[in-house]
Structure 1
Amino acid sequence: MTTYYYVLASQKFLLEEEPFEEVLRERRRDYQEKNKEIDFWLIKQPAFLEAPPLASVKAQCPQPSVAVISTNQQFITWLKLRLEYVLTGEFEAPSDTIPNPLASLSSVA
């Protein structure tokens, strides 16, 4: 199993009120310059929130939600420090309750 770390927020906040697209674009450019494999993903309406152990996390976040998921804990910590009004956490997958860590409940992810 792999440990995934996440930053979770409402879609309105993260995608409309914050200049977040620029942050992801800059991070992607940095990874390309360093020939580093992308280890973060933006997921609208993340399915991992449907796992029973994460029900309390889902209840704390305005819906619809969006998550940045990464295997890089330092990146998620950096995002948390840069952004306000976000939740952070971690989970392991694949598992019985989270078979696909990058799955979305949205038809357009």
Structure 2
Amino acid sequence: MIYNYYFAVASKNFLINQEPLEEILRERTQHYKSKNQEIDFWFVTNPQFINVLEKYKNYSKISNSLAFIISLDQQFILWLKLRIGFVDIGTFQSQSIFIPDSK
């Protein structure tokens, strides 16, 4: 099976310190729980997969300062782009379900 992932990326500092990201993700989690829906998004810093994303190869040198919100839900990522504004969005495919690094 091929999974389509969608993501929003920005500097870790911007997402953590300048945007109410914690509140946004907490509200999204509560929304999912109220609908008995499985969580299908993750907040990831220092991602290893950035090295395989062609568009972001130049970012690999600064990947320790980037943060990603990854989701299976394209509409959620598009909404984040509208809500937060200063993020880049993209997509990638994988044959496995995304499991964030526990480092």
Superposition TM-score, scaled by structure 2 size = 0.84
Gaps of 5+ in 1: none
Matches of 1:46 and 1:102, distance apart in 2: 11
Shift in Å, 1:58? 2.5
Higher helix share: 2
Change in 2 beyond 3 A, CA 1:46/1:88: same
Contact persistence 2:41–2:72 (CA under 8 A): yes
1:7 maps to 8
Alpha-carbon displacement from aligned partner over 1:39-88 (angstroms, at most 9, x marks no partner): 100011122211152434726x7851000000100000000000122110
Instruction: Report the RMSD for the aligned CA atoms in angstroms.
Output: 2.2
Matches of 2:53 and 2:72, distance apart in 1: 21
Change in 2 beyond 3 A, CA 1:103/1:25: closer
Query: How high is the sequence identity, in percent, across the aligned residues?
Result: 39
Superposition TM-score, scaled by structure 1 size = 0.80
Matches of 1:74 and 1:28, distance apart in 2: 15
Gaps of 5+ in 2: none
